[in-house]
């Protein structure tokens, strides 16, 4: 909202028009939001959307919304998701087209030598014990 104050106005209008007893058509709502976002991205620099601690909000409806978002990303939008649990998304197409970079705990794990080097840089010389 700070960079695009009007972003989401059309999508919010769809939410307000929806009657409480109607099922939530998230695809239509997300489509509207993505159209607005694509228009803004044509006029600006690329945008990084960070969803931190996704595991805290994760659920079937949110998973479906994010899956839809990832399948319909507008040009210029990069999504970064951090989570302690792997979301249940189908990402094969993104992997095949090299549009997905997945970093897991194995990738982040330091060897003993790397750990010692980091600690040594920040606390002086350490012996190997």
Query: Contact 77/41 with Cβ under 8 angstroms?
Result: yes
Q: Would you state the pLDDT for residue 111?
A: 94
Instruction: Report the residue count for the chain.
Output: 129
Q: Would you state the pLDDT for residue 23?
A: 67
Q: Would you state the pLDDT for residue 35?
A: 82
pLDDT mean values, one per 10 residues, the chain (129 residues): 63 65 71 80 80 88 86 87 88 87 90 90 66
Give the tokens for residue 38: 């694509």
Q: Would you state the pLDDT for residue 22?
A: 66
Domain positions in the chain:
9-123
| CA–CA distance, 43 with 51 (Å, rounded to integer) | 23
Torsion of CA 28, 32, 38, 41, to 10 degrees: -130
Among 47, 40, 36, smallest CA distance to 12 is for 36
Global confidence as pTM: 0.66
DSSP letter (8 states) at residue 76: T
């Amino acid at each position: 909202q700070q960079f695009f104050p009007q972003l989401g106005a059309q999508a919010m209008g769809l939410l307000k028009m929806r009657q409480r007893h109607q099922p939530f058509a998230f695809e239509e709502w997300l489509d509207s939001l993505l159209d607005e976002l694509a228009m803004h991205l044509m006029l600006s620099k690329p945008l990084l959307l960070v969803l931190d601690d996704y595991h805290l909000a994760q659920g079937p409806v949110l998973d479906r919304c994010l899956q839809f978002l990832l399948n319909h990303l507008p040009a210029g939008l990069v999504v970064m998701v951090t989570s302690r649990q792997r979301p249940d998304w189908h990402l094969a197409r993104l992997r095949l087209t090299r549009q997905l970079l997945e970093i897991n705990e194995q990738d982040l794990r330091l060897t003993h030598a790397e750990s010692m080097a980091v600690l040594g840089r920040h606390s002086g010389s350490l012996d190997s014990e």
